[in-house]
Amino acid sequence: MPDYYLLIVGLLLLFAIADLVVGVSNDAVNFLNSAIGSKAAPRKVIMWVASIGIFIGAAFSGGMMEVARKGIFNPSFFVFAEVMIIFVAVMLTDIVLLDVFNTLGLPTSTTVSLVFELLGASVAIGLVKIIQNGQSVALLANYINASNVTAIVSGIFLSVLFAFVFGVVVQYVSRLLFTFQYEKKLHTTGIIWSGVALSVMTYFLFIKGIKGAAFISADFAALVKNNTGLLVGCSFIGWLLLLAVMRLFAINVLRVVVLFGTFSLAMAFAGNDLVNFIGVPMAGYEAWRSWLASGAAADVYNMQVLGGAVKPNTLFLTLAGVVMVFTLWFSRKARTVTNTEVSLGRQEEGIEKFEPNIFARMLVRLSWFTGVRAKQLIPASWYNKAEARFTPLQTDAKTANSSSNAPAFDLVRASVNLTVASALIALGTSYKLPLSTTYVTFIVAMASSLADGAWGRDSAVYRISGVLQVIGGWFATAFIAFSVSAIFAVLIHQLGGWALAALLLLAAGLIAGSFMHHRSLETENERINSLLTGNNSLKGTELARQTALSIAHTLATVKQAYQLALEGLKTESETQLKETKKIVKTLKQQNKEFKIKLLYALQRIEEEQTEAGRVFLLVYDLEQDISQSVMHIIKSCREHVENMHTPLQPQQTQQLEQLQTLFNDYLLLIIEGFKNYNFNTLQQVLQQKQALFENLENILVLQINGIKQHQYNATNSHLFFNILLETKDIIAVAARFMKLYNRLHLAYDNPEQKPRLIAQTSTQG
């Protein structure tokens, strides 16, 4: 039995490393967002600043470790064997949950996940004990530290409210002071604002770091606490003098604020959230050492030892800091989560990641209506002056749309994000509440975006939809963390090592699957962003190759949708036909992305290749045509089955199967051509097209004869004709794609003999 629990402790230590990796990948957005979004410095400089903050902050995290030991459940009501089950269930759930959110690029709260995982597992084990002992369920309250849980949860959600209010107010006032031409204000307003911001962050660092730091004496901590006003005042004067000197050397003081704020938030993250990753394994290690020394049985030894105050192991904290820094530099999922927040708050328009929903539309309409009414109450002269200060600078289209050069937002907003977030987290930490740094920093960033006018009429509904989905993910985090952790704990309690082994395999499989899914998402995003990056003119050949890949993806999706719709129709499977809804959504998203890519690319295409630009707009039109045809087939098949109409006759099914075989071979040939950018198979494509048309004509004749002989009723015939005619359109459009790109390819190979591409393509179907 000691060997079994030694294995558990070893697993907990491995879980600590894995949880650090997935946790940092999700939480890195909290301190990187502002610096990366505003491009306050080269990315490597930002990463080094954040790394130093993380490493130092790891040593300041001791005061929060008690949350994992006794903050959620009362350890004196559990024995060693039960506590270890709770800890294993919590860590397994946390790793899988955070990895899923990282893969989706959604920032969530590692604090909320830990709190509700501990709550779920301890409630589950507590209920099992109560039921086994025949006791009243009312005794469950003794197992849970309900008052502490309430304080933590209320503190987290109150911080969201305060973050939104202060984010909006501070950003609005800051923009009124600076305008978007903030460089002109750096000598006066810039120095004063930066001094205030840096003083707040200095206070934040001391308050955040002093409490519970592993190497700070109680006397020094009390000295800082009792002289807060003096500390802030002296730091303000000191920063003002230093900033004034910096301006003499033409240093942008707002960059100093953003980089110092990045350091501060990185340090706060390590101090406030390190408990979320290693608190449970450290508690498990302490419990194991205590049990081993006692000599008692694992199912008898009481865990009241976890209720005492224990200074954290400095070596563990240091090693955790090293793992966090390495993760920050090498985690690709951290970039995915960061990109989500930066894109939601960017000043410019672009490809939107999220689809609008009814709630986002309602909020946009309500905001617009409120704004119109508020405008009527404000004197016109005041409104016009304020509006003038919120007018962004006009930039060259090529530069503005180049993600490699243009920041998502400016240094004014970045400094507001960091200052407000730092102040709120410092306040919460001073009361020893494990606030969610994710909730605070995300809401502040979104509030400042709103106040800054970043969400215009063309982007607001998408951005708000994204914010709502992220917030929805927060509620899902709490529910999933509680329920999954509870289920895992019960399974391990009842089935022992077999359940633990199965859950380990399940977790490994889920993580491997999410890794592969994330790789495919990254590949797709790189393909999408390839047209939006760079500051040089875009050659038509380059655009042709990139759009060819988009066409290959569209045709592959069309082929999949067509096959699924016909299979669902033949088997009358509503389940298969419902799956086509996802494919329709994918098609719509692909069309939207293709259009946006073209619009950005056409701004950069070389002047002498405007003819090629018109060709690519025609390509978009063809994509719309082929998508609408397959969507019409899907809709017809789904309605036919859902309405319980007469199924296809055997001869009709056989005819469709023959057609489907030819159709799949035809599309595969074209897809391969576009993937490889090789159109030498054009003649073969045209031959297959002709064969398909002949097959379609034969089927149409047979169908008409069947109608005359009363073999098919009106509803059945209507469906069958719809499928055949839309299939004919898909075949024709697919061939037009191939002919168009073949001519385009030949034109670029022989530029002196370049034909009028649109004229030739439009007149030949």
pLDDT digits (tens, 9 = 90+) for 502-513: 998 988 888 888
Spatial neighbors of 234 by CB under 8 A, at least 6 apart, are none
Give the model's pLDDT for residue 140: 82
How far is residue 427 CA from its own chain's centroid? 28
Instruction: Enter the pTM of the model.
Output: 0.73
Closest by CA to 692, choosing from 681, 684, 703, is: 684
Give the model's pLDDT for residue 758: 43
Mutual orientation of helices 253-274 and 228-248 as an angle, nearest 10°?
140
Q: Is 283 exposed, middle or buried (0-12, 13-18, 19+ CB in 10 A)?
A: buried
Give the model's pLDDT for residue 759: 43
Q: What's the CA gap between 351 and 368, in Å, rounded?
A: 23
Do 567 and 576 touch, CB atoms closer than 8 A? yes
Give the model's pLDDT for residue 48: 92
Q: What's the CA gap between 366 and 476, in Å, rounded?
A: 26
Query: What is residue 539's DSSP assignment?
Result: P
The end-to-end CA distance of the chain, in Å, is: 77
The pLDDT averaged over each successive group of 10 residues in the chain (765 residues) is: 80 87 81 86 90 80 53 81 90 90 84 86 90 83 77 76 88 85 82 88 69 60 74 86 87 90 83 74 84 84 73 73 86 80 76 78 81 75 73 53 63 88 74 72 88 78 86 88 92 88 89 78 62 50 73 86 86 81 75 66 56 68 83 87 84 86 90 86 88 88 84 83 89 87 69 46 43
Q: What's the CA gap between 494 and 511, in Å, rounded?
A: 25
Q: What's the CA gap between 129 and 336, in Å, rounded?
A: 43
Domains and CATH numbers, the chain: 2-521 (no CATH), 536-762 (1.20.58.220)
Do 66 and 291 touch, CB atoms closer than 8 A? no
Q: Provide the token pair at 744.
A: 């385009």
Q: Provide the token pair at 135.
A: 């006791």
Closest by CA to 27, choosing from 558, 435, 519, is: 435
Do 415 and 254 touch, CB atoms closer than 8 A? yes
Q: Which helix (H) or strand (E) holds 145?
A: none
Closest by CA to 35, choosing from 20, 25, 49, 21, is: 49
Do 117 and 93 touch, CB atoms closer than 8 A? yes
> At 12, phi and psi to the nearest 5?
-60, -40
- Name the 3-class secondary structure at 392: coil
Q: What's the CA gap between 553 and 560, in Å, rounded?
A: 11
Do 558 and 667 touch, CB atoms closer than 8 A? yes
Q: Provide the token pair at 697.
A: 């004509």
Q: What's the CA gap between 171 and 166, in Å, rounded?
A: 8
Q: Which helix (H) or strand (E) holds 434?
A: none
Give the model's pLDDT for residue 761: 43
Q: Provide the token pair at 374.
A: 């508020």
